[in-house]
Amino acid sequence: MDFKLGELFCGPGGLGLAALQTKIKKSNETYSLTHVWANDYDKDSCDTFRKNICPDKPKSVICKDVRLLNIKKLGKIDALSFGFPCNDFSAVGKKKGTDGNYGSLYSYGVKALDIFKPKWFLAENVGGLQSSNSGKAFNQIIKELVSTEYNLTVHLYPMEKYGVPQARRRIVIIGIRNDLGLTFQVPAPTTPIPITCKEALYNPPIPKNATNSELTKQSTQVIERLKHIKPGENAFNSNLPDHLRLNVKGARMSHIYKRLDPKKPAYTLTGSGGGGTHVYHWSENRALTNRERARLQTFPDNFHFMGSKESVRKQIGMVVPVVGAKEIFKAVLKTFANVRYASIPPSLGFHSKNNHIKTGLSQQHNLLENVSYQ
């Protein structure tokens, strides 16, 4: 069984690559996913997607604001993925939720479900989605998705427990059409001992000819500041001389000039910010290259990102890690193939039109216990 996949808010192709790489076999039948169409508003992200995911079908990537997209004219699909923009839900952003410029864009995923009625969908966003608008945004999104006649499984995935060398939390919603009589089970963690950032970056070493490996030109002051910051420390909890301290009022972001700890997974990469947010090596006085950042997002070294260095940094920071996404796609395909796999209860519950079970936050906290590397 081959599921024809459409993607809204596709970005550079984290989910797209994971989908193409995921296949399972049962008896003589193969379950897989095939790219049909994808959409994003960012030109560089679309160029990256075309080059790496569908170089033989460049016109299948529509670069346009989803609000101007004629969804009805897109090709028929069996599956839909939409990582709707997280700017208004992220802990790094202003948490405007559905009141922000990006917060209501999830509704275009709902629209696509109404039009195509695919067999299943995957929707994802940052963990901060739960608390936006005091939880109202999350509840509204779930309510609208339930109304589309899908049985939902909602879970907050700690990606470092799924083979990703990075402490990254993503809410993933899997919906299977009610009439199919299937319920998705959350796959059990695959990596009880998380992969460290040092292991991810140096085992094996990044090839010298790998693209997107440009170094950031660090100022003398930044280099001097980094010399005083130990692995795992940032600009606010390190012993900096007065002339190197940051003159910042209000919130003090924990990842500003934060060095990686080589004995732990990386802290969460982001696509936003400027100086001090580029993720810093634990021993070398420099920011990571985009290729190193891509390694932490589990992209293969031959995946080439298009655009300027800053554009590439943004693209990498926004994606769902490939390896983590593959584990979720694999579980979806096993669900349809009726193949049993190790699973855990969903941290944020099952939802359907006639049934609403919420497991409670205590279970979620138990799942994330001892994995806070932020």
Q: Which sign, positive or negative, has the C-alpha torsion 156, 342, 360, 353?
A: positive
> Which of 10, 54, 86, 197 does the annotation list as catalytic?
86
CB of 41 closer than 8 Å to CB of 65: yes
Distance of alpha carbon 35 from the chain centroid: 19
Pairing type for strands 61-63 and 169-177 reads unpaired
Q: Which residues pair with 81 in a beta bridge?
A: 7, 122
Quick one: which of 103, 114, 94 has its CA closest to 138? 103
CB of 5 closer than 8 Å to CB of 77: yes
CA angle 311, 315, 318 (to 5 degrees): 140
Q: Is 63 a catalytic residue?
A: no
E strands present in 168-259: 169-177, 186-187
Full DSSP string of 233-274: --TTTS---GGGS----S---TTTTPBP-TTSPBPPP-S---
Q: Which residue has the tokens 């604001």?
A: 65
Paired tokens of 17? 């690559």
Amino acid at 56: D
Residue positions annotated with a catalytic role: 86
